[in-house]
Amino acid sequence: MSADPRRQVPRTDSLLADPRLAAAGERLGRGLVKGAVQQVQQRIRDGELAPPDAVPAVLAALPGTASSLRPVLNATGVLVHTNLGRSPLSPAAVAAITAAAGTTDVELDLASGRRGPRGEAAIAALLAAVPAAEAAIVVNNCAAALALVATALGQGKELVLARGELVEIGDGFRIPELLASTGARLREVGTTNRVTLGDYRGALGSATGAVLKVHPSNFVVRGFTRQVAVGELAAALAGTGTPLVADIGSGLLRPHPLLPDEPDLQSALAAGADVVLASGDKLLGGPQAGLVLGRAELVQRLRRHPLYRALRVDKTTLAALEATLRGPLPPVQEMLAADLDGLRARARALATRLATVGVDAVAVDAEARVGGGGAPEHPLPSAAVSLPASFAGSLRRGAPPVVGYVEGDRTLLNLRSLPPSADDDLAAAVLAVAAS
Ligand SMILES: *Cc1c(COP(=O)(O)O)cnc(C)c1O
């Protein structure tokens, strides 16, 4: 042993020249590899690592991609989990993003060589999926769609909306604050629990810019309550020229049999809303986007507003949205549709596989949720693998990370929020934790 371990630390140049690290540098960028090299050199100086192990240690410390976002197995039972990136995209949408990520014909008509309309195919797919809509635009998210509507229709005017619909969506995002920030004045009608058509009528006047209906996505009010449906409002506004805008939130295209209280784009427009707003990455199961559908003249007005340019989406979002609408059912929709027997069979198979090698694992029934601020009253029946509580943290820190939840003294890995194709990875992750 040399007295001074620092003398044995391999030089940065010679490590970076190693063919394995040079290849990693091409893939990830030299900066990332150099950072990992410096960490490993420090570990050698500290006597934690032998110099011959330097290159394998650098390789082990490198991330899989140049981005630090990692794929996570969502075993929370929350299908649209905001902290886990909401909707997982379908393989078709992922392939579409990859194809569009480079140079692409997003605004060029290849046949004529002239400039083409941006995102035309994604818009056509939206209109095909929602026949009641005459026109559509896509912006960054539903909050952006609200900001655009409030600015274009409500700035310097009044937006009439029910007091019970002044909602907070999550993480401090309050819809009334967003609306007011655009310079629109909020004209609140009714009380927290009750609003009537007469309340709306009493608020309409020359200052009215639009009437807004916001779906209270993440809570319900029960008891002595009354709301005015989109259809009733539309009938009352007919012929007045006042636009009726409905923010439905979660973005179902059509009514869903399992989620009777969740509004959908087609029904809201058919009931008479002039413009409907929804998120692309909640129940639609697509990329983050704000969908704006409705009457051609109003949608055109929103598209021509200067703010639209600041809120529009990029080519990869357009590609993913079109593939979500035209391609196979996205994962969120498959998870919603998964039948309980199938989920139980997966839980049993996984638990048996783990128990045979000595892991304390059993299959149990559990409840799943739509999440993302949707269908708060509709738990979905599900099945889970139950493990000792201590697994939760280790699984979360594992590779790949698995996010479950602790109930009592057990960690539950809920299967409704995971595609069946993830079961092998899930089993491997649990076995890795059990072995450590
Ligand atoms: C989720 C939600 C929003 C915000 O949507 P983002 O796409 O997250 O911006 C707005 N309104 C309603 C009713 C919602 O449920």
Q: What's domain 89-328's architecture?
A: 3-Layer(aba) Sandwich (3.40)
Residue 218 has pLDDT above 60, yes or no: yes
Cα–ligand 1 centroid distance for 164 (angstroms):
16
> If you measure from the C-alpha of residue 398 to the centroid of ligand 1, how many angstroms do you get, rounded to a whole number?
32
| pLDDT tens readout for residues 81-90 | 999 999 999 9
Residue 430, number of CB atoms within 10 A of its CB: 28
Token look-up 């959908």 returns 264
| Domain range summary for the chain, segments of one domain joined by + | 5-61, 73-83+334-435, 89-328
- CA torsion, ordered 126, 128, 132, 133, to nearest 10 deg: 40
Task: Name all residues whose Cβ lies below 6 A of ligand 1.
Answer: 141-143, 169, 214-215, 217, 247, 249-250, 279, 290, 373
Q: Which residues contact 113 (CB under 8 A, 6 or more apart)?
A: none
Rounded CA gap, 188 and 205, in Å?
Answer: 14
325-368: pLDDT as tens digits: 999 999 999 999 999 999 999 999 999 999 999 999 999 999 99
Q: What is the pLDDT of residues 368-419, one digit of tens each?
A: 999 876 777 789 999 999 999 999 999 999 989 999 999 999 999 999 999 9
Q: How many whole angstroms separate alpha carbon 184 and alpha carbon 202?
A: 19
Determine which helix (DSSP H) or strand (DSSP E) holds 433, and give its type and residue range: helix 423-435
- β-sheet bridge partners, residue 80: 371
Distance CA 130, CA 118 (A): 20
What are the percentages of helix, strand and coil residues in the chain, rounded to 5? 45, 20, 35
Three-class SS string for 317-364? HHHHHHHHHHCCCCHHHHHHHCCHHHHHHHHHHHHHHHHCCCCCCEEE
Terminal-to-terminal C-alpha distance of the chain: 31
Does residue 163 contact residue 188 with C-beta atoms inside 8 Å? yes
Task: For residue 217, give the ligand 1 atom closest to its CA.
Answer: 15
Residue 3 pLDDT greater than 70, yes or no: no
E strand spans, 87-190:
108-109, 114-115, 135-139, 158-162, 168-170, 173-174, 185-189
Distance (angstroms) between ligand 1 centre and the Cα of 382 equals 26
CA of 264 to the centre of ligand 1 (A): 14
Q: Please give the model's pTM, rounded to 2 decimal places.
A: 0.93
Name the pLDDT band for 7 (thresholds 50, 70, 90). low
**Closest ligand 1 atom number to CA of residue 374:** 15
Rounded distance from Cα 250 to ligand 1 centre (Å): 7
Using N-to-C axis directions, what is the helix angle for 315-326 and 91-101, rounded to 10°? 150
Q: Is 58 exposed, middle or buried (0-12, 13-18, 19+ CB in 10 A)?
A: buried
Looking at residue 10, the DSSP 8-state letter turns out to be P
Most ligand 1 atoms within 8 A of CB, residue of 142, 217, 292, 313 to mutate: 142
Torsions phi, psi for 187 (to 5 deg): -110, 100
Ligand 1 centroid vs 152 CA: distance in angstroms? 19
CA-closest residue to ligand 1 atom 15? 249
Say what the pLDDT of residue 220 is: 86
Distance (Å, whole) CA 56 – CA 38: 14
Q: For ligand 1, atom 2, which residue shows the shortest CA distance?
A: 249
279 Cα to the center of ligand 1, angstroms: 6
**Dist. CA 24–CA 28, nearest whole Å:** 6
Mean pLDDT estimate for the chain: 95
Q: Quick one: pLDDT at residue 64? A: 86
Q: What is the pLDDT of residue 63?
A: 87
Q: 174 CA distance to ligand 1 centroid (A)?
A: 10
Over residues 198-216, the pLDDT tens digits come to 999 999 999 999 999 999 8
pLDDT of 2 over the 70 cut: no
Give the percent of the chain with pLDDT over 90.
90
Give me the pLDDT at residue 373, please.
Answer: 66
- Out of 247, 261, 277, give the residue to mutate to test ligand 1, the one with the largest number of ligand atoms within 8 Å of its CB: 247
The pick from 83, 217, 264 for probing ligand 1's pocket by mutation, whose C-beta has the most ligand atoms within 8 angstroms, reads 217
Q: What is the pLDDT of residues 303-319, one digit of tens each?
A: 999 999 999 999 999 99
| Burial status of residue 134 (CB atoms within 10 A of its CB: 0-12, 13-18, 19 or more) | middle
The pLDDT assigned to 5 comes to: 57
pLDDT for 6 equals 57
Smallest CA separation from ligand 1 atom 6, residue: 142
pLDDT of residue 215: 93
Percent of the chain with pLDDT over 70: 98
- Alpha-helical segments (H) within 29-73: 30-45, 54-61
- One-letter amino acid of 230: V
> Counting atoms of ligand 1 from 1, which one is nearest the CA of 218?
15
Architecture of the domain made up of 73-83+334-435: Alpha-Beta Complex (3.90)
What single-letter DSSP state applies at residue 91? H
Cα 41 to middle of ligand 1, angstroms? 48
